[in-house]
Structure 1
Amino acid sequence: PKCFQCVFIFSVVRFRSRTPIQADNMCLFPNKWEGTWFQSGVRQSITIEKSRLSTKGRCVESEGDKFVVVDEKAGCFRCVVIHEKHANVLQLTTSTFCHKAKTALQSLCSLITGDALLYSMFRVEAIPVDCPFKGPLSFTYNRGHGECRSPVSSIDSCTEESRLLLRYQACPDVHGSESTVEELQCLATWKEGSSRYLVGKIHHNHATSNEDRYRCFVYEKSTLPGARDDGVDYRVAQSGDATCNGLFSPMEGSRTMTLRKET
């Protein structure tokens, strides 16, 4: 009898340990976010479906753009803040530690500091958008070793207004410049303060993965001397990886460009 009692108690304990943590109330991510997403540095695609964010866990509480999610494997809770920049772009921050005890949403989310890392997520099956620039355009570019001005590079519009063809020219006197052709597919545009952003997919011979293809741009209408009055002159900065991190000014980026309407 004593042995049977021990086995019974052990079985109950094991059963309880496998029981998933229950939500206090029904929490769902917005229906428009459902689908498959890409995030730089994450090997597998991220899926948002109903109450689940595949890389973080299940939502148990939400308020505005703040979500408390439970990692059911680890049995702990964290706050995730998600900002929708565009239907095809989400930006996410999260609390550093996963807490064993469920804490009130405001308390848990207050642990996210102002300098917390911001992660960009791009929709994998995104419907393209019209590009903010239209060819034909000429442009100069700088990859950190001086501006490649001559010969001048060019941009042409494609049949689809969501695509541009960029023809980069190599400047003999500028290290790092090279002659290459890239096709840019525009996926999202939005305004943040006085800055305008563009996310696109770049297709070229050296792009073999989404880490190589997705790029973020910040741009503004140019105020350079001689800029045209019809708003077709632009300054543009491009990210060096598949994120929008550190991209605040069209004057600073992995590659900066000055676009001008061809006459």
Structure 2
Amino acid sequence: DYFLSSTVSCVCYFPVEYQGIFATQSSLSTLSAGSLHQYSEVTILPDAIPVWGVCHKKFDNSVILRDPTGGQDCYRCFHVSLHSGNVIQIYTEGLNKCYSTEEAALQTCPTMHDIQTKRAREIMLYKSRSFTQDGLIDQVFCPINGRYRFTYDVNDGTESSIECPEPSSELSNCPKGSRLQLRFRRCSFGELDMGLRCLGNWEGHDGRNYLALWDPEVSTDNQPRYRCAMYSVEETTGRVYLSFSIDATCTNHLHSPWDGYETMVLTPVTPLAPPAIVHTTTCRFPEWAQGSFQHLKIDANELWLQDDAADKKYQSLCLSQHAPHGERYALYSQTQW
């Protein structure tokens, strides 16, 4: 999440993972009927964000941009956090304010208190194209993994009943680990299938878990193309509480994993039972291999592997140990179920 740990005055640039073409919400959505979800384009170049200014100075998570477009240089300060290759969250005093000196702009850099108390304006950037040859955005695994049944409620103030009161609807990230497939069933609005692509997840400044999603099927302004959600996993049951904001922001009608414009309660579906041998074996991976790594987690007799190329996660259970020195293991494996 950090640019540099100290002030740099001679060179100011954005690392390659920040660069690209992004969509940002250009109007605030409300609960009133007929709200439109409109987006504008923001490009981050190596040394500038053209609509806001040229990179002038960076320190910690803040950057001062110099805007020469008014005929005379003025300066703005932005707090910038990279949450994934696809999601950047920016806080600023406001785009309508610009200062004649760097020192004056420096005094307006959003503090953690400004962010936590929502005094600073939030701007969410969702990458739509990268500067790579194919232009594709990063593939990011969803933090919600497996199969679930869910209830669903829209808190738009128009009715008191729950839209999908029974856990008959289904959600899963199968067959692709970076996409959530939702099948709404026995709901007041009928049946609906939709897919959401996970763009990134992070722990917010408030300690909550956030998730950014993209609906590639949306082609009109009547539905949000980008969504921000909060989620919480109940460790004892695996139940997931998931709430969405009304639009692409992470603040508009989004208060907690239990209180948002749309709320869902996901109950995990019990996976298929592994072969009986899994329950009788004493096989265990060695102590030196236990722990969490970039795309691998090993815990006792269980191994989780994330395969970016295949867009899948594999769960493997140790069955038996072989070879002269026990360096080979027979495994029972399955993908997202």
The structure 2 residue matched to 1:39, chosen from 3, 15, 24, is 24
The structure 1 residue matched to 2:226, chosen from 197, 214, 224, is 214
Match in the other structure for 1:21? none
Q: Does 1:238 align with 2:238?
A: no
CA gap 1:89/1:111 in 2 versus in 1, 3 angstroms:
closer
> What letter corresponds to residue 137 of structure 1 in structure 2?
Y
CA gap 1:151/1:138 in 2 versus in 1, 3 angstroms:
closer
Spell out the pairing of 1:100-139 with structure 2 (5 A cutoff).
Answer: 100-103=100-103, 106-109=106-109, 114=114, 115-125=119-129, 126-139=137-150
Normalized per residue, the structure richer in strand is 2
Match in the other structure for 1:82? 80
Does structure 2 retain, via aligned residues, the 8 Å contact 1:62–1:105? no
Q: What's the CA shift for 1:40?
A: 0.9
Q: Distance in 2 between matches of 1:62 and 1:124?
A: 25
CA gap 1:37/1:260 in 2 versus in 1, 3 angstroms:
same
Q: Distance in 2 between matches of 1:221 and 1:151?
A: 17
CA gap 1:95/1:217 in 2 versus in 1, 3 angstroms:
closer
Normalized per residue, the structure richer in helix is 1
Match in the other structure for 1:68? 64
Match in the other structure for 1:186? 198
TM-score normalised by length of structure 2: 0.61
Does structure 2 retain, via aligned residues, the 8 Å contact 1:68–1:77? yes
Q: What's the CA shift for 1:143?
A: 0.5
Does structure 2 retain, via aligned residues, the 8 Å contact 1:61–1:105? no
CA gap 1:43/1:212 in 2 versus in 1, 3 angstroms:
closer
Does structure 1 retain, via aligned residues, the 8 Å contact 2:170–2:183? yes
Determine which structure has more spread, i.e. the larger CA radius of gyration.
1
Q: Does 1:48 align with 2:44?
A: yes
Q: Distance in 1 between matches of 2:87 and 2:179?
A: 18
**Greater mean alpha carbon deviation, residues 146-155 or residues 180-189:** 146-155
TM-score normalised by length of structure 1: 0.76
CA offsets 1:32-62 (integer angstroms, 9 cap, x no match):
2111111111754211112101221101122
Q: What's the CA shift for 1:194?
A: 4.0
SS of equivalent to 1:212: coil
Q: Distance in 1 between matches of 2:173 and 2:112?
A: 43
Q: Distance in 2 between matches of 1:159 and 1:112?
A: 40
> What letter corresponds to residue 155 of structure 1 in structure 2?
L
Q: What's the CA shift for 1:234?
A: 0.6
CA offsets 1:92-133 (integer angstroms, 9 cap, x no match):
122332112342664342699821111111122321212222
Q: Distance in 1 between matches of 2:46 and 2:216?
A: 33
Does structure 1 retain, via aligned residues, the 8 Å contact 2:77–2:106? no
The structure 2 residue matched to 1:249, chosen from 251, 256, 275, is 256
Does structure 2 retain, via aligned residues, the 8 Å contact 1:211–1:242? no
Q: Distance in 1 between matches of 2:84 and 2:192?
A: 30
> What letter corresponds to residue 89 of structure 2 in structure 1?
Q
Q: What's the CA shift for 1:171?
A: 3.5
Q: What's the CA shift for 1:28?
A: 1.3
Query: Between Structure 1 and Structure 2, how many residues are aligned?
Result: 229
Unmatched tracts of structure 1, length 5 or more: 1-23
